[in-house]
Amino acid sequence: MTNLFSVEGRVAVVTGGLGQLGTEFTRSLAAAGAKVAVYSRRPFSRVQVAEKWPGLEDNIRIYVADVTDKAALEAATAALEADWGVPHILVNNAGIDSKPDGGAEQNAPFEVYPQKFWDEIINVNLTGVMLTSQVIGSRMAAEGRGSIIMVGSMYGMVSPNQALYAYREERDGKPFVKAVSYAASKSGLLNLTRYLATYWAKKGVRTNLVTFGGVKTGSFDREFIDNFLQRVPMGRQAEIEEFGGVVQFLGSDASSYMTGANLVLDGGFTAW
């Protein structure tokens, strides 16, 4: 039974693997015996890999590729195939959001929200996932196996609760609105997941979405955390280590009959 959950010897791609979530997904998969190819917009040396993931450097390699650049994705994947073969697992993790401490434009009311920020976030969070899935998923389908894992957000299921951010206007004296683009991009992943799940099902490629809630980062105001935790039934944020297991599960044979699903890890936030 234990072997059902094994990813030993499998090749996994993690996009945005140098970010907070990507670092954990890379660590947990490599520690479980997978060979992990991190797709990153910036180069990262072997020494840096050893410093970031001590003891796992033999199982982790960095390939420079921007998820919005199909030619770069093709080149990185060709290099990966030459090194380790066609991937078994794709974790579509790369994503961006408006910065909470960004300018007023980034967090502007919907009526005046600039298109340039919409375009930037949709391009990475949705178009980038489509392109990466095209490049790697097609190779998986040709091999007759594979697991594509979409990294979603609770804001892909429910609209951002603007009351969580109301303290910003009271404190700073200017409007602060959680912007529309992030929620729109993550909700788009719901149906992209279902589309690919049905499209490639008979070719052995499974596609599932993981919807994550708030995780401890140390980058949020205390007021926001207090407001947020009042709306989480479990009364706490997730520890980053709590997210790796579900990715390993979806990459393993334990989820062999699961495709088109949405697994929610949000402490119960969307249950209310």
Catalytic residue list: 182
User: Among candidates 96, 103, 95, 114, which has minimal Cα distance to 176?
Assistant: 103
Q: What is the DSSP letter of 237?
A: P
pLDDT tens, position by position, 37-64: 999 999 999 999 999 999 999 999 999 9
pLDDT tens, position by position, 12-37: 999 999 999 999 999 999 999 999 99
Burial of 225 (0-12, 13-18, 19+ CB in 10 A): middle
Which domains are present in the chain? Answer: 2-266 (3.40.50.720)
pLDDT at 1: 56
Q: Where are the alpha helices (DSSP H) in 20-132?
A: 20-31, 46-52, 70-84, 115-122, 128-132
pLDDT tens, position by position, 167-212: 988 888 888 899 999 999 999 999 999 999 999 999 999 999 999 9
pLDDT at 49: 98
- What 81-86 contacts at long range (C-beta under 8 Å, 24+ apart), as own/partner pairs, is 81/139, 84/11, 84/35, 84/37, 85/11, 86/11, 86/139, 86/140, 86/142, 86/143
